[in-house]
Structure 1
């Protein structure tokens, strides 16, 4: 998985466990795609401080994932449901297959 995407997922699942300051720096980096200098200027802190905060956040978020595996579970469920959709897409005449397809689509929308 691409680093930015993985960081986004980790933040989505575990971001609330960071401090408010860490969240703001991380959001500027991941969601707004700002450079270290832009973040530093915006928050009136040094570039090095931004770098350190981002590294600390990455480590914290990765540690949470290593313990809880929520992102891995999410991705596995998503892959399984997508596979269900592929298998049921060809034959919608059978009521059972149509119902499976409908349920899998609902699950995907909730993820």
Structure 2
């Protein structure tokens, strides 16, 4: 399950950098959960060709993340926004109610933009 989520995130961030053919095959495998045989039959290529293309796409997407770190940054910003939201909801702090509401609004907007 974790691998599928990782593949989905990689594709969401970097999928547009793949060719149209690569995107079609990768989406069929990852999002549509099609078998290698189904993808091969639908696209007129061998199962081995499908397997190799999916592997190449995965390696390409991972190399983009290794260089650009967009997913890592996304997750760090999201964690900080969640922490801000939690802090703004903590009534045990000596924070002004107006400031608390502003923080909650800002953190909510950040989280909404990220998702």
In which range does the TM-score fall when normalised by the shorter chain?
over 0.9
Which structure has the larger Rg over C-alpha atoms? 2
- Correspondence 1:1-111 to 2 at 5 A: 2-91=2-91, 94-111=97-114
TM-score by length of 1: 0.92
After TM superposition, give the deviation of residue 96 of structure 1 in Å: 0.5
Report runs of 4+ in structure 1 exceeding 2 Å deviation. Answer: 90-93
Alpha-carbon RMSD:
1.7
After TM superposition, give the deviation of residue 9 of structure 1 in Å: 0.8
User: Could you list the runs of 5+ residues in structure 2 that have no partner in the other structure?
Assistant: none
Kindly provide the CA deviation profile for residues 44-103 of structure 1, in whole angstroms up to 9, marking residues without a partner as x: 211111100000001100111000000100011111111111222233971101111111
TM-score by length of 2: 0.89
User: Could you list the runs of 5+ residues in structure 1 that have no partner in the other structure?
Assistant: none
